Every structure is written in C-alpha cells, then in structure tokens.
C-alpha cells in the first residue's frame, strides 16, 4: 500500500497542457483516498527540488511521482543521481510535448488512471539504463540521448521560435524539428575524435554525433531504432552529409525506410563507454535541452536509474 505520493509537476510542460494531467492525477488520488503533496518545478528546473525531497529521505512506501516532459524527467533523474540516495526510484507520468522516454517504455500520455492504478495496487521497481556524461568539471545524466551538432542546433533554433507553441497546439511537435532541420544543416560542420575500447577514430566534416539510450528524438522520430533502455549499453551514431541531397536521403530513410544506419555516411556503434573529443566548439543537447557546457572532452558511460511502474 502506498502511504504517500510526492508529486513534482512542471506546469509549463507541453505549453501548459501538463496542468490537465495534474488535474486528472489529483482527481484519481482523491477518489482512491491516497495521500499526496504537490511541488511545482521552479523556473531554474527540478534538479535541486528533487534532490531535497530524496534527501529527506523517502520511506519505502512513499512514491516520488514526476509529471512533465523529457526535460523535467531529465532534471529529476539528475536530482536523484546526485542525491545521497541515488537508488531512489521515480514514478513518471508523461505530460510533455515529445514524451520520447515514455514512448520507448510504453507509458502512454493521457492514460493516468491506468498508470496510477498500477502504482497504487501493484507497484514494481524496474532498473533502467541511462547515460552518464563526465567532464573534468561536471557530471550529467541522460535518459534519452546526448547530441552534438545538428540535433542541438535544431533545439537551439526552435527554442525561441513562435512555431513551437503553434505546432504544440496542433499536436505536431515532430514538425517543429523538421521545419528547422534545413536551417540547422547550414551550421558549420565539425570534427570529433572518439575512443571506444582503446581504439581511436577520427571523424571529420560531420554534422551530427549522437549517443542514444532509446530510439526516439523530437517527439517520436525513430533516429536510432536499435537503441534499447533495457540493455546496459548506449548507441553511438556519427553522420556526415556534404550536400543537401545527402541530408534529404538520410531524412527520407529515417522516416520511410528506417535503414539510415546502413547508409555509408553513418557510422554506428553499440558502446558501454566512449571518450569524445569535440575538436570545434558545438551546441550540445541532453534529453532535448541545451547543455550549458564549454567542455570539449567527455567520457560517456552507462549508469542505472530505478523506476516505479
Ligand atoms: N517554473 C517554470 N517556469 C518556466 N519554465 C520551467 C519551469 N519549470 C520547468 N520549466 C522548463 O520547462 C521546460 C520544458 O519542460 P519539459 O521538457 O518537461 O516539457 P516539454 O518540452 O513540453 O516536453 P518534451 O521534452 O517531452 O518535448 C524545461 O526546459 C524546464 O526547465
């Protein structure tokens, strides 16, 4: 029996639609005489709030429930992992615009009653693989992906775009990214040096380097189909495209034939550890949020996060 839910909600997720998810959640919990307390994420993000809640610490029959999108979940995982109790499990209700982690783990948005029913009556803990990025000065964790170049450029371009709200209203979040893809492609190409199992590879003139923990990006785009949250590994892809027509071909392969990882312009590896040196400063993204880091030398490994289901 769950004694209490500690709910952390990002009311700004999905351009404010997360409020509806919170309403349905509290309605269910009241109907089922469950005790709960609500915390809204501050504008600087949920990481420290989560860390403080976890450090209380929580009792075994108290559940920390996150309501928000992939960005909020990322901050929650980073809060747990850097707390005094990093094995604390998280429960999650997807309420963002993209919900890529939820898609990968078969948690359906707008199905709060079903998820809560399971959490209240048969809560089980599952260990999920996550990515860990170490630099000389900081450690960050990701649940979905970490990208250098193209995908981070798209996020940077959509950040202040008025189209984001319009597309979100129409539930067309995927199109936001496609609409900015060609602009992002005009950004200067870059070089990386990657070391995997003591072998070093040089990649020059690339437009994207991504490490993925699950297949989806930007609201369901199947960027890395073989990536699997259940495996203790991450999928690394490096992509080159010299001309617009190469990019068109890759995009068509991503959306239609889904065989883009076999394209000779893409190098693909399954890794447990990789060291990456970014040779020209680039935008980087972590779970769909720009990563505020000037670091050009990174070590990426696997870690684990416990989840309530
Ligand atoms: N109180 C707040 N005020 C303003 N922004 C906030 C606040 N709390 C959180 N945020 C920001 O809201 C942003 C969006 O969150 P989130 O990623 O969860 O939703 P989303 O972008 O709609 O979903 P998805 O990432 O699944 O597409 C994050 O950058 C987060 O830092």
Q: Is 289 in the pocket of ligand 1 (CB under 6 A)?
A: yes
Q: Is 294 in the pocket of ligand 1 (CB under 6 A)?
A: no
Q: Is the pTM of this model over 0.90?
A: yes
3-state secondary structure at position 21 = helix
Residue nearest to atom 1 of ligand 1 (CA): 43
Q: How far is the CA of 203 from the centre of ligand 1 (A)?
A: 33
Choosing from 12, 50, 101 the residue with most ligand 1 atoms within 8 A of its CB, the one to mutate for a pocket test is 12
Q: What are the strands of the beta sheet with 266-271, ordered from one edge?
A: 266-271, 234-239, 208-212, 145-149, 284-286, 289-290
How far apart, in whole angstroms, are the C-alpha atoms of residue 199 and residue 147? 21
Residue nearest to atom 22 of ligand 1 (CA): 14
The ranges assigned to domains in the chain are: 4-123, 139-304
CATH number for the region 4-123 comes to 3.40.50.10330
Alpha helices in the chain (DSSP H): 18-31, 47-54, 70-81, 100-105, 112-121, 150-159, 163-169, 173-185, 244-252
How far apart, in whole angstroms, are the C-alpha atoms of residue 225 and residue 221? 9
Beta carbons within 8 Å of 19's beta carbon, 6+ residues apart:
11
**Tokens 């239609």, located at residue:** 256
pLDDT per residue of the chain (309 residues) written in tens, 0 to 9: 788 999 999 999 998 989 999 999 999 999 999 999 999 999 999 999 999 999 999 999 999 999 999 999 999 999 999 999 999 999 999 999 899 999 999 998 889 999 999 999 999 999 999 999 999 889 999 999 999 999 999 888 887 666 666 666 555 566 666 777 778 888 889 999 999 999 999 999 999 999 999 999 988 999 999 999 999 999 999 999 888 888 889 989 999 999 999 999 999 999 999 999 999 889 999 999 898 767 789 999 999 999 999
**Tokens 């998280």, located at residue:** 90
What CATH fold (topology level) applies to the domain 139-304? Tumour Suppressor Smad4 (2.60.200)
Report the complex ipTM: 0.94
Phi, psi at 82, each rounded to 5°: -100, 10
3-state secondary structure at position 207 = coil
Residue nearest to atom 6 of ligand 1 (CA): 43
Q: Is 68 in the pocket of ligand 1 (CB under 6 A)?
A: yes
CA dihedral 58, 65, 285, 126 (to 10 degrees): 80
Q: How far is the CA of 193 from the centre of ligand 1 (A)?
A: 32
Locate the ligand 1 atom nearest the alpha carbon of residue 69 and give its number: 18
């Amino acid at each position: 029996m769950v004694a209490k839910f500690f709910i952390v909600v990002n009311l700004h997720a999905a351009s404010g639609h997360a409020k509806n998810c919170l309403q349905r959640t509290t309605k269910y919990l009241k109907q089922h005489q469950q005790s709960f307390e609500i915390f809204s994420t501050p504008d600087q993000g949920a990481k420290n709030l989560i860390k403080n809640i976890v450090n209380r610490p929580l009792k075994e029959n108290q559940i920390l429930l996150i309501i928000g999108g992939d960005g909020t979940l990322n901050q929650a995982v980073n809060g747990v992992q850097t707390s005094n109790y990093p094995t604390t499990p998280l429960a999650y209700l997807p309420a963002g615009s993209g919900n890529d982690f939820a898609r990968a783990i078969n948690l359906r948005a707008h199905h709060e009653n079903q998820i809560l029913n399971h959490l209240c009556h048969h809560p089980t803990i599952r260990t999920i693989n996550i990515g860990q990025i170490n630099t000389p000065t900081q450690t960050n964790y990701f649940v979905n992906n970490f990208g250098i170049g193209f995908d981070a450029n798209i996020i940077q371009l959509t950040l202040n775009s008025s189209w984001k709200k319009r597309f979100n209203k129409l539930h067309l979040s995927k199109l936001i990214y496609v609409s900015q893809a060609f602009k992002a492609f005009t950004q200067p190409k870059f070089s990386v040096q990657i070391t995997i199992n003591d072998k070093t590879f040089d990649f020059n003139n690339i437009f994207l380097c991504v490490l993925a923990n699950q297949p989806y990006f930007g609201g369901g785009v199947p960027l890395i189909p073989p990536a699997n949250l259940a495996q203790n590994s991450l999928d690394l892809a490096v992509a080159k495209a010299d001309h617009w027509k190469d990019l068109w071909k890759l995009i068509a392969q991503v959306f239609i034939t889904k065989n883009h990882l076999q394209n000779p312009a893409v190098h693909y590896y399954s890794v447990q550890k990789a060291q990456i040196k970014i040779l020209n400063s680039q935008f980087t993204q972590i779970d769909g949020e720009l990563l505020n880091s000037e670091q050009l030398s990174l070590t990426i490994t696997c870690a684990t996060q416990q989840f309530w289901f």
